Amino acid sequence: MKQRAPFIDTLLGLTALTGLIALYAPLLAATVLSFFQIVRVRGKLGFAPFSLEPYTALLTNGEILSALGTSLIVAVVASFASLVLALMFAFYFVSARRGLGTLMQVMVFLPFLLPPIITGLSLLIAFREAEFARGLATIIIGHIVFIVPVVYRTVLVRLQLLGGSLTEASLDLGASHVQTLFHVILPQMRPALISGVLLAFAISFDETLITLFVAGSETTLPIRLWAMMRVGFVPEINALATLILLFTAAITFAIGLIQRGQAERA
């Protein structure tokens, strides 16, 4: 077997290292600057002593807390509504005729595959034609349309892996379809359901472009952060970015643990 030259391995390693630095250096900079602010001392730039003042100012900012509350409400409602819809679509796909199931999948995935600006603009036009006032409800609907495909794919893969033998065995033993669903199928799909909801929550919490079209007078946390940056960077922005980073990392870690446990049991 022909081995690669050491030069190629070194070049690939340096390329990977450069990519990692480009990805994580801005995140690290925001985290450091949330604790050590840059100050000018005697004409020279330096770092101020360690301080939690940006976090204190952030937690006492009523506008940010209000936007955070809106984002949490939208993310929770949209995630669980998407889970219900994804389950309905997944059960329909495994039982429907091939042509109808494929058509349904195209309709489910299309809003996610389109550029967010097109999806947001389409929703804006639909709400305007229906004379539906923009607000919290339209944000939730917009997020549901966007994140249903993510949950649907996660749920469908697990449902297809289960096959039909569990359902047939449960029905043969005298259980009804409802009992089979709640006592046999859904417990077996629990890891996929949890990971799908967590992933949908993270995407919804971070969604900005579609929200801009359908928010109206409501403000979510990403929109509030964008508005704050328009008037210049303040220490609270670094603190907010750090907290969002930690929150997203925690969700990602939880999803990884759930999928790892699911793979070990498979």
- DSSP class of residue 49? P
Question: Average model confidence (pLDDT) for the chain?
Answer: 83
For residue 139, what pLDDT band results from cuts at 50, 70 and 90? very high
Q: What is the DSSP string of 193-223?
A: HHHHHHHHHHHHHH--HHHHHH-TT---HHH
- Using the 8-state DSSP alphabet, how is residue 2 labeled? P
Strand partners, 46: 39
CA dihedral sign of residues 262, 82, 86, 199: negative
pLDDT in tens, 182-198: 888 888 888 888 888 98
Question: Collapsing DSSP states into helix, strand and coil, what is residue 64?
Answer: helix
Q: What is the fold, at CATH topology level, of the domain defined by 53-265?
A: MetI-like fold (1.10.3720)
The pLDDT tens digits for 103-125 are 888 888 888 888 888 989 999 99
Task: Please state, as a whole number, how many other Cβ atoms lie within 10 Å of the Cβ of residue 98.
Answer: 8
pLDDT of residue 8: 78
The pLDDT assigned to 10 comes to 82
Identity of residue 184: V
If phi > 0 it is left, if psi is from -120 to 50 it is alpha, else beta; for residue 174 that is left
Angle, to 10 degrees, between the axis of helix 62-95 and the axis of helix 221-230? 130
Tell me the pLDDT band of 1, cut-offs 50, 70 and 90.
very low
Residue type, 56: T
- The residue ranges of every structural domain in the chain are 6-47, 53-265
